[in-house]
Amino acid sequence: MIDFLCIGAQKSGTTLLYEHLSKIEEVCFPAVKELHFFDNDINYFKGKNHYLKNFIHSKKDEIKGEITPAYLFFDKVPRRIKETIKNQDLKFIVILRNPIDRAYSQYNMSKFTQKHEKYSFEQALIYENYRQNEYKDFVNFSYIQRGFYSKQILNYFKYFKKENFKFIIFEDFVTKQEQYINEILQFVRGGGGMYYQIENKKVFSNEYTPMEKSIREILSKIYEEEITLLENIIDIDLSIWRETI
């Protein structure tokens, strides 16, 4: 039985989470960080047994889970999870980052690391809606869309109870890593267990050209209502995002 899924968001510290949890003996992960089982049709149609083979090495008392940040974004994923993982107590970890910074981080990854992007950031935002033709386009070029977290979260609430979700703000997580790792373990366990001493890791970063102020101002207008709506859904004050706009 799978105990938890970290479903995103992309470019919001899920690799940092994985680096910490993978060193904790009571946590069992697959051999790779991101399985992309529920979001990728090719993987999904291999069936439930194919998915569960990723956990065949787990021990009886271990906490079993996986981290695939794409799971938050794709509409079909929560229904597929519900139909595949028969665990009413399945827990979800959701790390959310200022959507403006998240979008720019995704853009830089797509352009400079993965070599998918050919446009400037401004051009990529303008063309975004015209480029969503297939799965890989949504994966690589969904800069603005991924930042509308409220719609994605409400889609999950159609299938799972709100109390099964732990929401974490990226900007807090990176400065209080020990606190949040232990909170996550408590949440997944349902309480109790060992408390782990953890040192803050440096968050991976590249020296990218700073975002143009005019683009940040436009994106702040785009996300203004979204941030307020999200606060009401997850019951967390997001003033830290507004301070950077």
DSSP 42-59: HHHTT-HHHHHGGGTT--
Range 28-38 average pLDDT: 97
Give the model's pLDDT for residue 172: 97
206 has a pLDDT exceeding 80? no
Task: Evaluate the omega torsion of the peptide bond into residue 124 and state whether it is cis, within 30 degrees of 0.
Answer: no
Cα–Cα dist 105/52, whole Å: 32
Mean pLDDT of 200-223: 90
Q: Which residues contact 21 (CB under 8 A, 6 or more apart)?
A: 27, 29, 65, 181, 184
pLDDT at residue 244 tops 90: no
Q: Are 222 and 126 in contact (CB under 8 A)?
A: no
- Is residue 13 scored above 80 in pLDDT? yes
* % residues pLDDT > 70 (the chain): 98
Percentage of the chain exceeding pLDDT 90 = 94
C-alpha angle with apex 241: 136 to 109, nearest 5 degrees? 30
CATH number of 4-242: 3.40.50.300
Could you tell me the pLDDT band of residue 243, with boundaries at 50, 70 and 90? confident
Residue 245 has pLDDT above 70, yes or no: no
Give the pLDDT score at 127: 97
Give the pLDDT confidence score for residue 208 in this predicted structure: 86
**pLDDT at 2 > cutoff 70:** yes
Contacts of residue 32, Cβ cutoff 8 Å, sequence gap at least 6? none
Per-residue pLDDT, 203: 83
Q: What would the pLDDT profile of 86-130 be if each residue is shown by its tens digit?
A: 999 999 999 999 999 999 999 999 999 999 999 999 999 999 999
Average pLDDT over all residues of the chain: 96
User: How far from chain centre, in Å, is Cα 57?
Assistant: 25
- Tell whether the model's pLDDT for residue 72 goes beyond 70: yes
Strand order in the sheet with 91-96: 27-28, 63-67, 4-8, 91-96, 165-169
